[in-house]
Structure 1
Amino acid sequence: MSMPRVEVQWSGGRDAQFAAFVADAGPYLLRVALLLSGDRGHAEDLVQTAFERTYRAWDRAVAADPRAYARKVLVNLRIDRWRSTRREVLTEAPPERAAPDHAGAADDRNEVVVALAELPLAQRRVVVLRHLLDLTEAETASELGISVGTVKSHNARALARLRSLLQTGRP
């Protein structure tokens, strides 16, 4: 199930267009960054850097899909940080969406986020992109620069590990 594509008409000058984009995409990108990094400070840094790079390439970004462009930049930045570290610990839950408070659902979601920290980094990236961002296998492979087969194998192993962790209640 892919997220529906929204066609946005950008009007005004470059700065006005970008300001509207930041207001629209900021919460989404922060959620993605927090899911990928597990730390609010790192997530905010990633989003800020992604916005900076997207602004510098605004003509290219707006010609295609600015949200997808910024997400790709964010994921690539996160991959660069993953390469420089071996293991990270998620320290907080992702920001809540504007929705009614459902304590049980929030607890379940927090368990999943903690369980994600137990996965190898490559598997975590695939799970976040495939299941939390609803990208297809081909889109995930393209975003990460890996083959569709690798996406499938990482996904299968990660889901099996998550099931095991969540059934035992051990994240």
Structure 2
Amino acid sequence: MEELSVAVSGINAVDNPGPGIAVIRSLKEDGRLNLRTIGLAYDAMEPGIYLDWLVERSFIMPYPSSEEADYLGRLFYIQEVAGLDVVIPTLDAELPLYIKGKEKLLSRGIKTFLPTWEQFELRSKEHLPEVAERIGLAIPPTEAVTSPSELYRALDRVGFPAMIKGLFYKAYRVHT
């Protein structure tokens, strides 16, 4: 069986771990796959870079807030120097770049498994109440806010304790 080169992001294995290491471990435990793994990191201190029994090669990526051309250019560079057949992005912040660049990746022979833009949008926090209602899932009162004054008004409505969640990560339980 031909070796498959698979790049996986989200390899930060710290107190708020990314899912990448678990994805790589799952792939490696499937004895039917002949693969070489590449870790995609955003910081030289991400522990996944140093887990050489799981990650054969690793590369630092530009942050997902960078330009699409820079981000995809880095993936194409990785393909040239290390080979790259499949990329598995595991972080929400990356998905817009991959979804928009899917055809460019495919044209270079890099396969992915991605949601459509519409599917990606459905998972956003602003759509949570409508999606939950549609599938019959009860959720606590939820409000999207974009400023401190909106936050104070929302907390007056929903009460305490409450959870305040960031755009991509971190959540805090608040009592006041």
Common fold by TM > 0.5: no
Larger-Rg structure = 2
Shorter-chain TM-score tier: under 0.3
Higher relative contact order (CA 8 A, sep 6+): 1
Higher helix share: 1
Higher strand share: 2
Q: TM-score, normalised by structure 1?
A: 0.26
